[in-house]
Amino acid sequence: MMTLIAMDVTAAPSTLQVVWFCLVAVLFLGYFVLEGFDFGVGMLLPVLARDEKERRVMINTIGPVWDGNEVWVLVAGGAMFAAFPEWYATLFSGFYLPLLLILVGLIVRAVAFEYRSKRDDPLWRRRWDWCIIAGSVLPALLWGVAFGNIVRGVPLDADHNYTGTLLTLLNPFALLAGLVTVGLFVTHGAVFIALKTLGDIRGRARSLAGRVGLVTLVLLAGLAAWHNLAFANTALVWAPTAVAAIGLVAGLLANRAGREGWAFVGSALAIAGLVVTLFLGLFPDVMPASNDPAHSLTVVNASSTPTTLTIMTWAAAIATPIVLAYQGWTYWIFRKRIGVQHMPDPTPESAESTPGTEHSPSTDHNAERSPSSSRG
């Protein structure tokens, strides 16, 4: 019996197991690329905006899309739960506190987007702005820490239960990964703001993206070298690493030249390259055990039955194109730039208490305007 179990655990992954490992990676890739600029905009709220109108401009750049971007992580968690339940169970029990803090941050940020416009009170809005900032910084940092620990490995017992503590997760490699994700998201967000805005805020965003991007490039190079040399299982990880580095450099050069569209593509490639590097170095493990490789979770011993994977594959094949088409249509509809000229002037009765009130964007059709929502 023990021989049969060992053979089953060490068996080669099936095609469906490999497919669903790749799909989980793609879902997290999409989440970090799309939600990454959302986090970046939130973190830059007190840095780039000079007054209430500019804060509203920044929030309106992501107003129509931020909640749709969050769907990617929900689907990624659902796919992990259904395709690799052992991975899901170990991850969400062992990383309970960091993942709970991520969830709290996302909830607080979502509430802040909706509530900051409910009262014409500068103090009220300032408090909700800090909630947006905290709700952006915390997930950006902790997602990097979580994935840093996943690829580095954590102590697991024979039943695949996490045996470490919170301090175990706060190791140098994971903390560096957290700094890299924060830097990438800030750069990505600054480029997105430059791509979506008009006027002075556009210039400030481009300037900041260049400065933060250089620091992020150094951190990214250090993390990639450490990961590829110490934790990766294959030399193939150097290819997506090169894509990440080249994408970030090209994005910074395009940003310097005022080509915000290409700059955004470059920063997106940097994030995508990093995610592929981490998942490619992880395979065939899904959660390696740092104390004993025999306790590691792999795509084989963590996966669901072939029947479950088959049903999920058909469901994904039908639903995924519809979701992608809808989200692509949303981005196309809300593609134009927005500036302070599209924000309404304050009403006379509230002019002394707040720089602006929440109405629909300006109807000046002579200026380029964004059809983004007026939330925020």
The DSSP symbol for 344 reads P
195, burial (CB in 10 Å: exposed 0-12, middle 13-18, buried 19+): buried
Each residue's pLDDT expressed in tens, for the chain with a length of 376 residues: 333 333 345 678 899 999 999 999 999 999 999 999 999 999 999 999 898 899 999 999 998 999 889 999 999 999 999 999 999 999 999 999 999 999 999 999 999 999 998 888 889 999 999 999 999 999 999 999 999 999 999 999 999 999 988 899 999 999 999 999 999 999 999 999 999 999 899 999 999 999 999 999 999 999 999 999 999 878 899 999 999 999 999 999 999 999 999 999 999 999 999 999 999 999 999 999 999 899 999 999 999 999 999 999 999 999 889 989 999 999 999 989 998 887 777 654 444 333 333 433 333 333 333 333 444 4
Half-sphere exposure at residue 220, Cβ-oriented, CA atoms within 13 angstroms: 32
CA geometry: angle 229, 245, 137, nearest 5 deg: 90
Structure tokens at 161: 């239960």
Q: Which two tokens stand for residue 269?
A: 């490639």
pLDDT of residue 346: 60
Structure tokens at 324: 């992608």
DSSP state of 357: -
Check residue 347 and give left, alpha or beta (phi > 0: left; psi -120 to 50: alpha): beta
Residues in the chain: 376
Q: What is the pLDDT of residue 22?
A: 95
Give the C-alpha separation, 376 to 355, whole Å. 13
Q: How far apart are alpha carbons 290 and 296 in whole angstroms?
A: 8
pLDDT of 6 reads 38
Report the C-alpha gap between 44 and 183 in whole angstroms.
11
What's the CA gap between 118 and 139, in Å, rounded? 25
Amino acid at the residue 236: L
The closest of 140, 148, 151, 138 to 169, measured between CA atoms, is 148
Helix, coil or strand: residue 367? coil
> Are 57 and 46 contacting, i.e. CB atoms less than 8 angstroms apart?
no
Residue 362 DSSP label: P
pLDDT value of position 233? 78
Signed CA dihedral, 207, 41, 267, 144: sign only: positive
Q: Give the torsion through C-alpha atoms of 92, 98, 99, 101, to 10 deg.
A: 150
Taking the alpha carbons at both ends of the chain, their separation in whole angstroms is 62
3-state secondary structure 260-277: HHHHHHHHHHHHHHHHHH
* 242's tokens: 């090169």
48 in Cβ contact with 58 (< 8 Å): yes
pLDDT at position 10 is: 60
Q: How far is the C-alpha of 83 from the C-alpha of 286, rounded, in Å?
A: 12
Q: Cα 58 vs. chain centroid, distance in angstroms?
A: 18
What is each CA distance from 319 to 111, 115, 304, 323, in whole angstroms? Answer: 29, 33, 20, 6
| Residue 347, pLDDT score | 54
